[in-house]
Amino acid sequence: MIRRLGGWLLDGAAALVLLYLFLPIAVIVLYSFNRPAGRFNFVWKAFSLDAWRHPFAYEALTESMLLSLRVAAVSTAVATVLGTLVALALTRYRFRGRGAVALLLVLPLTTPEVVLGSSLLSLFLDLDAPTGFTTIVIAHIMFSVSYVALTVRARLRGFDWTLEEAAMDLGATPARVFTRITLPLIAPGIAAAAMLAFALSMDDFIITLFNAGSRVTYPLYVYGARRAAFPPQINVLATAILFLSLIVLAATVLWQQRTLRQRGPALGMKIASRGRPTAPADATQGCCPNRWTTATISRSALGTAEARRLAALGRANVAEMTAFLRQRGIRCDYEPTGRLMVALTLGQLEDARRVPARRARSLSLASLGVGDEATDRPSRAPRPAPRARSPRPGR
Amino acid sequence: MSRTGIGEARRHRLAPYLLVAPGVVWLLAFFVVPIVTLAQTSVTDTGGAWYATYARALADYGTHFLRSLRYGLAATLLALAAGYPLAYCIAFRAGRLRNLLLGLVMLPFFTSFLVRTFAWKTILADDGPAVWLFRQLHLLGGAGRLLDTAAAVVGGLTYNFLPFMILPIYVSLEKIDLRLVEAAQDLYATPVAAFRKVVLPLSLPGVFAGSLLTFIPAAGDFINAQLLGSPNQQMIGTVIQNQFLEVRDYPLAASLSFVLMAAITIGVTIYARVLGTEDLA
């Protein structure tokens, strides 16, 4: 009884906090339908659709919004590229100075915005550089790079780099590996980071105030509006942005879920390349039919118990399994250790990304075998040369 | 990881530096160099010892500093008190509603920070709903106000940075292996003891990150003080902004900025030592 009461209290407290978070947003939306008595839309007077009918009635307000959109577009584009490159370097390489770079990324986040803004202004004053569009963009890129790099880095942890390696061993050029394998896999993370950078740039007030010169962004306009006039159009634009971002967010989430489902094998299956050197002629075609790639089910993705079960299943079903794969044009060989060797062409490897995870999993349950030693790490033990043309017959 | 073959290692020795170079150069040029410039500005034209401007800054605006730190601290504690239960509910009690609730917590990010603070001005206005409610509850006298009080400023700060408290705590709670809690219960821990001995310690990294992400911007903020407070609630950010953009006493403004940064860095370091968490990222 007491436990139940505590739970209710907890839920009640959480609901109150959510209410606290929403209250101002509700007021913003509500007051976009207000017909204020004077120039300031702070007191409720009467319901009206006027502001929604003429959202761009205030030219200065519209211009400030356009300026904010321009600043956000430019700074997001630059910061996303710079930040993603840093994140890639930090996750993929160990290099001297790695810790210093990571620290440099965090520092702007632990520095108050007033300090960031005022220090940049003192630099521009020192250089006699006039403040305006360029300085706003410079400032926004500066604080966005950190957010982008940290967001992308968080998404890259747990990324399966062996897929990239396999493609490289199958003769793909670095450029092709990047555009066909790496980029599609990390794209959702980059998109999330870019959206964050865009939102931060649109909303930044303090740093912009110091470096804007005579330019007026949307937040600066709102700030100035407290003196001259605060029209309901401000609320209309804020509400419109809210709903637009919700739509974009929903679309991105759906897209990410789709890609997550698509990149099933990359998550559930480790594809480690092995095999013999290829003829140069094959390599130039970007496809080496004689190369072998082992696919093992990662224990971390399935859990040890299920990996064991799969191993048993696999041993019992070698014939079925090899037939299944050969039907699909994939040559394979089953080793008694429980490791399934699969010959994949580069095209098939790239396609592996597109197999839905659900199907990949059911495929693995029904027909792929996994040894007890199937782990994240492909074993380094020497292995008999794979027989490309004559798969081992089923037992 | 099997990815560093010998040939590959040679090929990639320069690669990481090429990748980080643009971003690092940008941060050096527009974050590190400006801080150095700021330090230089703060010690020029002092008309005396190099620290003369600092002495003036502390003498004239010491109260603003203390007030900023006090308000920042109060907002952080309130955000922790409000944010932890919500993060806990989302992580452990929300079930299928979890992602929806997380989205709702992030909703404020999609409306302008300034417009939201103006909305608080409407809510807290003298003839607004909050004052009416508080008077009905006899929490506020007939002439009592909410706007232009310290409570309004701290409330606004808490509101603005609450999501930054909730999200890191949620992330650390979500990572907790629930079997640990079950184990504690199997060993006859009461729910309260299980929380205190298992869940709370494991969520401390989130509390740490959340407090920093709340305290640092809250102590440096001046919008809430300006819109929801009176001149008696002005924070150090207002002074810095005013000195830089209106009075144009650059050395004084620079030294104020520097003291704020130093105060926060010292505070954060002590906090990190106390909580025993060294890495911020």
* Domains of chain A, residue spans: 50-264, 269-376
Residue A302 CA to residue A314 CA, distance in Å, equals 15
What is the distance between the terminal CA atoms of chain A, rounded to a whole angstrom?
Answer: 61
On the question of pLDDT at B1 being above 50, the answer is no
Nearest to A25 among B107, B254, B257 (CB): B107
Domain spanning A50-264: CATH superfamily: MetI-like (1.10.3720.10)
**The dihedral of CA A6, A10, A13, A15: what is its sign?**
negative
Please give the tally of structural domains in chain B. 1
Label residue A383 by pLDDT band (50, 70, 90). Answer: very low
**Chain B residue numbers touching A380 (CB-CB < 8 A):** 2
User: In this predicted structure, what is the pLDDT of residue A395?
Assistant: 33
E strand intervals along B110-234: none
ipTM of the complex: 0.87
**Chain B residue numbers touching A162 (CB-CB < 8 A):** 2-3
**Closest chain A residue to B262, measured at CA:** A111
Query: Residue B233 belongs to a domain with what CATH number?
Result: 1.10.3720.10
* Mutation site, A3, A5, A9, A17, interface B, largest B CB count within 10 A: A17
Using left for φ > 0, alpha for ψ between -120 and 50, and beta otherwise, residue A386 falls in beta
Distance from CA of B195 to the nearest CA of A (A): 13
Asked which of A112-121, A278-287, B178-187 is least confident by mean pLDDT, the reply is A278-287
The pTM is what? 0.77
* Mutation site, A28, A119, A253, A379, interface B, largest B CB count within 10 A: A119
Q: Is B220 an interface residue toward A (CB < 8 Å)?
A: yes
Full strand arrangement of the beta sheet holding A340-343: A269-274, A292-297, A340-343, A331-334
On the question of pLDDT at B223 being above 50, the answer is yes
Nearest to B89 among A11, A141, A245 (CB): A11
Q: Mean pLDDT across the stretch B189-195? A: 86
Label residue A170 by pLDDT band (50, 70, 90). Answer: low
B34 occurs within a structural domain? no
Q: Mean pLDDT across the stretch B245-264? A: 91
Is residue A283 a contact partner of residue A171, using CB atoms and an 8 Å limit? yes
pLDDT digits (tens, 9 = 90+) for B28-44: 999 999 999 999 998 88
**Closest chain A residue to B90, measured at CA:** A14
Range of the domain at B263: 62-280
**Chain A residue numbers touching B227 (CB-CB < 8 A):** 226
SS3 A44: coil
Residues within 8 A of A (CB atoms), B 19-38 only: 19-20, 22-24, 26-28, 30-35, 37-38
Which residues are registered as beta bridge partners of A309? none
Q: How far is CA A228 from the centre of its chain?
A: 42
On the question of pLDDT at B11 being above 60, the answer is no
User: In this predicted structure, what is the pLDDT of residue A381?
Assistant: 36
Asked which of A96-105, B11-20, B236-245 is least confident by mean pLDDT, the reply is B11-20
Nearest to B119 among A24, A81, A109 (CB): A24
Q: How far is CA A374 from the centre of its chain?
A: 29
**Closest chain B residue to A115, measured at CA:** B257
- Residue with token string 């010998």: B6
Q: Is B44 an interface residue toward A (CB < 8 Å)?
A: no
B31 occurs within a structural domain? no
Is residue A10 a contact partner of residue B89, using CB atoms and an 8 Å limit? yes
Nearest to A11 among B37, B93, B219 (CB): B93
Q: How far is CA A133 from the centre of its chain?
A: 29
